[in-house]
Structure 1
Amino acid sequence: MNNYDDITVTHLSSTTSDHKPILLQCLQNQSYGPKPFRFQNMWMNHNNFLQVISDFWKSRSYLGGMHGLASKLKGLKAVLKEWNLKSFGNIQEKIQDAERLATYAQECFEADQSDFNRANYNKAKAEIIMATDNEFNFWKQKANLKWMEEGDSNTKFFHAYVKGRRTKSMIRVIEDSNGKPITNIEVIKKMAIEHFFNQFNNKKSVSMSPILAYITPTITEEDNNLLTMIPSDEEIKNTVWSLSPNSAPGPDGYNGHFFKFCWEIIHKDVISATREFFLGVPVPISY
């Protein structure tokens, strides 16, 4: 069962029998569309990570404010995806390669305990530790279990949990406007796009005036001035630092870890964008 991406059970009509037949479908390589970008916490352990961020950020130094920050974060996604493939690749394959190299290095050291072979053996062991740590961090982040104790390192459990949650959240069937069940994945994708396109392009507008007339104002002038006051650099930083680093990321795919870890590089743009918002600059659609 673990070899299949999706398994569904359907109870069919009993027709002339006393029992309902059960249809078990085991599917592989189901395409549910492109995977959204997600910042991986394991990237922060790479000694070249901050340099990658810094180099890209400097190349877009002419951009500022909310539009600038949104553009930089969007462009950085492509850079990080390419860098991830080169630096991390397939996590499981990295572990297997590290194990093969460690086995070979151990054999060489046992045959000839020279300083050179000792150094190679120690390096190979360090590579295994790093590869397994990356796998653990990858699946732990995907599982996003806040009740797990720090230090728990059952990678197999995280993997099974993620797979189970993915299966539960998968949309396998929807009904069309006539109540007919639709199971074709491509048709489901198309219907979902059409539904939200129509939702967000609805020209109907509802006047809030009748409702607002019954709401008594409770915000004083002093409160209003405090709420609309331009925040200081320190206040903006403290707000970023109050974010839970392991909470689910926003639509852009970046979590709290990214903003904290890269703060020295990106802080000017974050502060500039925040101030624009409080000054009343229209928020870009990309947000």
Structure 2
Amino acid sequence: MTYLASALCLDRHLSDHRPILLREVSTDYGPIPFRFYHSWFRLDGFDEMVEHAWLSFSYSDSNGMIRFKKKLQALKLIIRQWVKEKKLHQNNVRNSLTSELRDIDKDLDRGNVSDTILLKRMVLLHQIQDINLMEAKESFQKFKIKWAIKGDENTKFFHGIINKKRSQLSIR
């Protein structure tokens, strides 16, 4: 839902001031379209969840296309909820890994150095890096979608991207 404001300057009658009528206009563009991201395939248990959900649906409509459409609509809702829960879990995991990494770094600063501690630190860094990489891939795909929708319009977004690209390519 988008909120916009409009202002209308009214005629002055008894005073030398003009009253301003301020109105809020809300626009509802409908439900958010469902977008499927490639990074979801890398989430643990995604394939099994989709297969289990798809096989659990049973619609008794005689038309096969309508049954297929209903199954896709139900699957969309399940995927949205599952991904939302998975992302929340992923953020909690990253926070706990970061906290554990801080504790290890404090031990290293105190001089408690051993091969097991260094190995554990490397494993934690690798796990955090994997989570960040998955989020970066999803962000990159979201950016591509945004570029496809708004990229060629003569907008602030378009000019910001062009100016950033120019500054990166310029030779100093």
Structure 2 residue runs without a partner (length 5+): 150-155, 158-172
Larger RCO, structure (CA 8 Å, separation 6 or more): 1
Structure 1 residue runs without a partner (length 5+): 148-159, 162-287
Structure 1 Cα separation of the partners of residues 9 and 93 of structure 2: 48
Aligned residue pair count: 142
1:13: Cα distance to partner? 0.5
| 1:10 aligns to 2:9 (yes or no) | no
Structure 2 Cα separation of the partners of residues 54 and 99 of structure 1: 33
Contact 2:2 2:28 in 1 (8 A): no
Give, as a single letter, the amino acid of the residue that structure 2 aligns with 1:129. Q
Contact 1:91 1:135 in 2 (8 A): no
Match of 2:129 in 1: 129
Give, as a single letter, the amino acid of the residue that structure 1 aligns with 2:36. F
1:80: Cα distance to partner? 1.8
- Give identity over the alignment, percent: 20
Give, as a single letter, the amino acid of the residue that structure 1 aligns with 2:105. Q
The Cα offsets for residues 76-123 of structure 1, whole Å up to 9 and x where unpaired, read as 223323322332128777655554343234334555333443343223
User: Which has more helix, going by share of residues?
Assistant: 2
The Cα offsets for residues 207-250 of structure 1, whole Å up to 9 and x where unpaired, read as xxxxxxxxxxxxxxxxxxxxxxxxxxxxxxxxxxxxxxxxxxxx
Contact 1:105 1:124 in 2 (8 A): no
Taking a change above 3 Å as real, the CA distance of residues 33 and 60 of structure 1, as seen in their structure-2 partners, is closer
**Any idea what SS the aligned residue of 1:12 has?**
strand
Match of 1:70 in 2: 69
Taking a change above 3 Å as real, the CA distance of residues 9 and 62 of structure 1, as seen in their structure-2 partners, is closer
Q: What CA RMSD, in Å, does the superposition of the two structures yield over aligned residues?
A: 4.7
Contact 1:10 1:24 in 2 (8 A): yes
Structure 2 Cα separation of the partners of residues 74 and 146 of structure 1: 25
**Any idea what SS the aligned residue of 2:9 has?**
coil
**Any idea what SS the aligned residue of 2:88 has?**
coil
| 1:80 aligns to 2:79 (yes or no) | yes
TM-score, scaled relative to structure 2: 0.53
The Cα offsets for residues 28-80 of structure 1, whole Å up to 9 and x where unpaired, read as xx998764543233212224222222333344599995344334323322332
Contact 1:88 1:94 in 2 (8 A): no
Taking a change above 3 Å as real, the CA distance of residues 123 and 21 of structure 1, as seen in their structure-2 partners, is farther
1:124: Cα distance to partner? 2.3
| 1:55 aligns to 2:52 (yes or no) | yes
TM-score, scaled relative to structure 1: 0.35
Deviating 4+ runs (over 6 angstroms): 17-25, 30-33, 61-64, 90-94
Taking a change above 3 Å as real, the CA distance of residues 73 and 116 of structure 1, as seen in their structure-2 partners, is farther
Give, as a single letter, the amino acid of the residue that structure 2 aligns with 1:137. K
Taking a change above 3 Å as real, the CA distance of residues 116 and 76 of structure 1, as seen in their structure-2 partners, is farther
Give, as a single letter, the amino acid of the residue that structure 2 aligns with 1:88. K
Structure 1 Cα separation of the partners of residues 64 and 52 of structure 2: 19
Give, as a single letter, the amino acid of the residue that structure 2 aligns with 1:122. M
Contact 1:9 1:24 in 2 (8 A): yes
**Any idea what SS the aligned residue of 1:82 has?**
helix
Structure 2 Cα separation of the partners of residues 99 and 32 of structure 1: 39
Structure 1 Cα separation of the partners of residues 86 and 100 of structure 2: 17
Structure 2 Cα separation of the partners of residues 77 and 55 of structure 1: 13
